[in-house]
Amino acid sequence: MSIVEMKVPVIGESVTEVTLSEWLKADGEYVELDEPICEFESDKATLEFPAEAAGRIVHVAAEGDDLEIGALVAKIDTSDTGGGAAPKAEDKKTDAPAPAKESAPAPAASAKEATYASGTPSPAAGKILREAGVDAASVNGTGRDGRITKEDAQKAAAAPAPSSPAPAAAPAAAKATGTGKVAAPSAGSSSFSRETRTEKMSRMRRTIASRLVEAKNETAMLTTFNEVDLSEVMALRKKVQEKFVEKYGVKLGFMSIFAKACAQALMEMPDVNAHIGEDGKSLIYHDYVDISFAVSTPTGLVVPPIANIESLHFSEIESKLKDLAGRARNNKLSIEEMSGGTFTITNGGVFGSMLSTPIINRPQSAILGMHNIIQRPVAIDGKVEIRPMMYLALSYDHRVIDGSSSVTFLVKVKQLLEDPTLLLMGL
């Protein structure tokens, strides 16, 4: 017997432990070389673990286990060639009794044979189904081997719930009273519930929780606010959008404009782009701007950075943002792609937030919070006008950034956004 031990691989320098979130292959099932056997959830991403050999798999760890790097996950018996994985046609003929008469032709095999993955939701799909109260058994999986994908779950969650026949309340009520008479139903009793359920927090959620508490407890965090009139930015986008899309293949969004404005201000104010070193006694300055962008995913918030924003064109930022956001929501980002960054931008406005105090993304020293755009009356040259206004919030570590620097930075960003000509000219 030849056994190959499957151990947790080195995923990244900062990753010391992972959670086995889901087995993709059943215990005792035959697997091919490089076929995914399970999914690991690290601090930042969900990763598939491929088989290192072909053979019969034997589970060692269980779903939900926290495993250190190098820990044993499973064993693969490579001496088993998979002959027992499923009965062959000849075996079936030998074992089964011969029919007395010629049997009817067997129905054609389905396009997808039922496997362990059939009807099993991915981690992202499972979360969507649980929140929507949809039974996975009622969802038709279109993924590999019939697995339920995120898209399948979203369609099922959006579909109207089928109507069910009214329960036979009278007999049940009579039985409950023991009198043969129907008990009067209490007002609104069907709408009340006292049920609870307990679910283990995902590794990403636990990491997010610990880092948020760490940021609150270990930084001197303050938030300063301002408002920006986006009339000129909206006029610019409207004017060039058609030509921009025709030339670059992506739309000119608000995020690239805000990113360029922040990058220009950060290059002029290096304190806001710095952070405290690991020794706690030094400041690390950067001659470049790597901006992390908060992306909401089914498993939690991730903040992948885009490097050298100060040197990128608006179209390059938009293309990179589109790619990062899409892959982040599908758990396709590597650990390296989600590490780093000197400054963060988060946009709560896409969810309708009017004002918030974002928490610093450590070890960075500042984060800009964007919010929704509201048509509000403002005083312009002594007259009241309706303008598209947005509140901006800058949370910063007062140990690194003085109050005057934080306010100056936010005012600079405001000026660049209210007069995009300054931004385009680098003024």
Q: Find the CATH number of the domain harbouring 51.
A: 2.40.50.100
Same domain for 340 and 413, yes or no, is: yes
Specify the pLDDT at position 271: 93
CATH number at residue 133: 4.10.320.10
Specify the pLDDT at position 189: 53
Confidence of residue 167 (pLDDT cuts 50, 70, 90): very low
Query: Residues 387-403: pLDDT tens digits?
Result: 999 999 999 999 999 99
Handedness of CA 407, 409, 413, 419 (dihedral sign): positive
Confidence of residue 181 (pLDDT cuts 50, 70, 90): low
Residue with tokens 């992506």: 250
Same domain for 420 and 344, yes or no, is: yes
Specify the pLDDT at position 64: 79
Locate 277 and state its tokens: 């070193």
Specify the pLDDT at position 248: 92
Specify the pLDDT at position 121: 75
Locate 236 and state its tokens: 């610019």
CA distance 342 to 347: 17
Handedness of CA 357, 360, 366, 368 (dihedral sign): negative
59 an active-site residue? no
Percent residues over pLDDT 90 in the chain: 35
Q: Is residue 102 in a domain?
A: no
Same domain for 46 and 143, yes or no, is: no
Span 257-267, average pLDDT: 95
Same domain for 232 and 378, yes or no, is: yes
Same domain for 118 and 73, yes or no, is: no
Confidence of residue 384 (pLDDT cuts 50, 70, 90): very high
Q: Is the pLDDT of residue 93 over 50?
A: no
Q: Where is pLDDT greater, at 103 or 117?
A: 117
Q: Is residue 310 in a domain?
A: yes
Q: Where is pLDDT greater, at 208 or 385?
A: 385
Q: Where is pLDDT greater, at 44 or 288?
A: 288
Q: Is residue 169 in a domain?
A: no
Which bin fits 304, alpha (ψ -120 to 50), beta or left (φ > 0)? beta
Q: For 96-202, where are the alpha helices, taking DSSP H only?
A: 123-132, 150-158, 169-177
Same domain for 239 and 323, yes or no, is: yes
Q: Is the pLDDT of residue 35 over 80?
A: yes
Residue with tokens 């909206």: 234
Other CB atoms within a 10 A radius of the CB of residue 203 amount to: 23
Catalytic residue among 65, 279, 398, 419: 398
Domain end point (choices 131, 156, 181):
156
Q: Is residue 196 in a domain?
A: no
Specify the pLDDT at position 183: 52
Span 200-216, average pLDDT: 77
Query: Residue 298 in contact with residue 128, Cβ under 8 Å?
Result: yes
Same domain for 127 and 249, yes or no, is: no
Span 32-45, average pLDDT: 80
Helix or strand holding residue 4 (H, E):
strand 3-7
Q: Which of 171-180, 216-225, 390-399 has the highest mean pLDDT?
A: 390-399
Same domain for 326 and 410, yes or no, is: yes
Confidence of residue 94 (pLDDT cuts 50, 70, 90): very low
Domain end point (choices 77, 99, 128):
77
Query: Residue 363 in contact with residue 275, Cβ under 8 Å?
Result: yes
CA distance 205 to 264: 33
Query: Residues 61-84: pLDDT tens digits?
Result: 888 788 888 888 898 888 866 654
Q: Where is pLDDT greater, at 179 or 277?
A: 277
Span 261-283, average pLDDT: 92
Same domain for 372 and 243, yes or no, is: yes
Q: Is the pLDDT of residue 305 over 60?
A: yes
CA distance 413 to 264: 8
Q: Is the pLDDT of residue 199 over 90?
A: no
Q: Is residue 87 in a domain?
A: no
Specify the pLDDT at position 80: 66
Q: Is residue 144 in a domain?
A: yes
Could you give the 3-state DSSP secondary structure of residue 308?
Answer: coil
Same domain for 230 and 371, yes or no, is: yes
Q: List Cβ<8 Å contacts ≥24 apart for 401-408.
A: 401/271, 401/272, 401/365, 401/366, 402/271, 403/222, 403/224, 405/269, 405/271, 405/272, 406/222, 406/224, 406/272, 406/366, 407/224, 407/226, 408/269
Domain end point (choices 103, 136, 156):
156
Query: Residues 127-152: pLDDT tens digits?
Result: 778 777 888 778 887 776 677 877 78
Task: Give how many domains the chain has, as a whole number.
Answer: 3
Q: Is residue 179 in a domain?
A: no
Specify the pLDDT at position 328: 82
Residue with tokens 């931004």: 423
Catalytic residue among 27, 65, 91, 402: 402
CA distance 405 to 399: 12
Specify the pLDDT at position 389: 95
Same domain for 225 and 365, yes or no, is: yes
Average pLDDT of the chain is 80
CATH number at residue 413: 3.30.559.10
Specify the pLDDT at position 56: 87
Nearest to 295 by CA among 316, 273, 326, 318: 326
Locate 241 and state its tokens: 């959008």
Query: Residue 401 in contact with residue 374, Cβ under 8 Å?
Result: no
Nearest to 420 by CA among 264, 271, 309: 264
Q: Is residue 229 in a domain?
A: yes
Span 311-332, average pLDDT: 88
CA distance 247 to 126: 40
Specify the pLDDT at position 313: 93
403-418 and 254-268 are packed helices; what angle lies between their axes, rounded to 10 degrees? Answer: 140
Domain that holds residue 141: 112-156
Same domain for 38 and 150, yes or no, is: no
Confidence of residue 343 (pLDDT cuts 50, 70, 90): very high
323 an active-site residue? no
